Amino acid sequence: MSESFDLIVLGAGSGGLAAAKRAASHGARVAIVEGDRVGGTCVIRGCVPKKLLVYGSAYRHLLDDAASYGWSFENVRRDPAALLANVRAEVDRLNTLHIGLLEAAGVALIRGWGRFCGPNAVEVSNAAGEVHHLTGERILIAVGGRPHRPEIPGAELGWVSDDMFLLESLPDSVVVVGAGFIACEFACILNGLGVKVTQLVRGDHLLRGFDREASKAVEEAMEAEGIDIRFAHSPAAITGSTPGDLFVSTQSGESLDCGGVLLATGRRPFLKGLNLEAAGVAIEGHRIPVDGDQTTNVPNIFAVGDVTDRICLTPVAVEEGRAFADTVYGDKPRRVDHALVASAVFSQPELSGVGLTEEEAIERCGADGIRVHRARFRPMSQALPARGPRVLLKLIVATASGKVLGAHMVGEHAAEIIQMAAIAIGMGATKADFDCTMALHPSVAEEFVTMAN
């Protein structure tokens, strides 16, 4: 079977879906190729199911605090299997929803794995052995990334993040390997669901790239909740059987027994099988480099999202896909501004930030060129239980101009609050602008506008 399109999109994840639907809305004839489930990492095995697991695991804290608010419960039991099954059911619903949205947008969904046969040609093979030959005036690569397993003996015995959403039950103990947001989020999820967690961290701190003071606050809270974080520890090998009894040997000579190992050691662009050389698409290390218009070295081939390995976040991929479609098919040329992107870690407590971290601001402006305003206190929600981590709020301000360069928070609803702060910072707000904004009391967020000089 052979068909021709204005645009062929490889990958039905966040960036690919956004680009395909937007291009179709501008009148382009679009096909989207997907060998897995429609929705991509975010919907199927990432942001959405992970956040649902975060909500589920947080009930432990709510139940612990309930008595101080006059609620008592008897015979409370946890059922992670039910939570995992319900999350999968929601993912199924969203998968079906996204398929319907493609159909409503007039985008042809081609099932199977695509590979380049030339700069304008793609061959798609599916599980039934059928082969589709597609030609397109333009081709957009939006295949995303995949978890990376470390090259150690027995690595195949461990889980990667994708596997966590397929589990039907949880073991009594898990070793989490990694220090990034995926490692920390799952360490908190598992801990909240009653699993004993040991986290192995190669370096000396968690969450590289986030504000150090904020990441330290998360670390302290995780340890207070019973997560055993071991810095300067790396796995040397995994032995045993899975699922069941596993042993993690560390490079320092320890042996840790556990029921499962999560290898949260980063992600890489998913270039396998694309046959990029047939189209002449250049790669740089593990990524496809593009210019500000998402164009590769081949003028009619473009790439968006995690496959470019710039800022690997769902909203960034979505915006890149839409900007591409608006520029090429909508006669509305625009580029994505990657300079100010808010990010969050859905750990417990939650961390979120936008703009420069304190370390980045010092590097850029010098220690005398910035002022750091901070507030750290026990939130009102924890006043009666008198437990739990204190929240942290920070503003990084340029000394000369008073402009707010960054805002960071650790605590409940941090991501929701920072999303709003991002608007002000993006508009160039100063500390004086924050100061003259009326506080909304009693709230945690009001501290951002009441911090004393």
Which amino acid, residue 32? Answer: I
- Count how many Cα atoms sit within 13 Å of the Cα of residue 367 in the half-sphere of its side chain: 0
Q: Which of 98, 148, 373, 441 is catalytic?
A: 441
Spatial separation of the C-alpha atoms in residues 126 and 278, rounded to whole Å: 20
Contact 283, 266 (CB under 8 A): no
Q: Which residue has the tokens 């500390």?
A: 431
Q: What is the dihedral sign for C-alpha 66, 67, 73, 79?
A: positive
Return the closest-CA partner of residue 383 out of 72, 69, 73, 71.
69
Spatial separation of the C-alpha atoms in residues 271 and 115, rounded to whole Å: 10
Return the closest-CA partner of residue 309 out of 254, 352, 266.
266
Spatial separation of the C-alpha atoms in residues 191 and 222, rounded to whole Å: 9
Return the closest-CA partner of residue 321 out of 10, 8, 15, 6.
15
E strands present in 192-300: 196-201, 228-231, 235-240, 246-250, 255-258, 260-263, 267-269
Spatial separation of the C-alpha atoms in residues 316 and 352, rounded to whole Å: 16
E strands present in 320-362: 343-345, 351-355
- Whether the bond between 49 and the residue before it is cis, its omega within 30 degrees of 0, is no
61 counts as catalytic: no
Q: What is the dihedral sign for C-alpha 285, 288, 294, 300?
A: positive
Spatial separation of the C-alpha atoms in residues 237 and 355, rounded to whole Å: 39
Give phi and psi for 12, each to the nearest 5. -105, 50
Beta pairing class for 235-240 and 246-250: antiparallel
Q: Which residue has the tokens 């606050």?
A: 217
C-beta atoms surrounding 436 within 10 Å: 9
Catalytic residues: 441
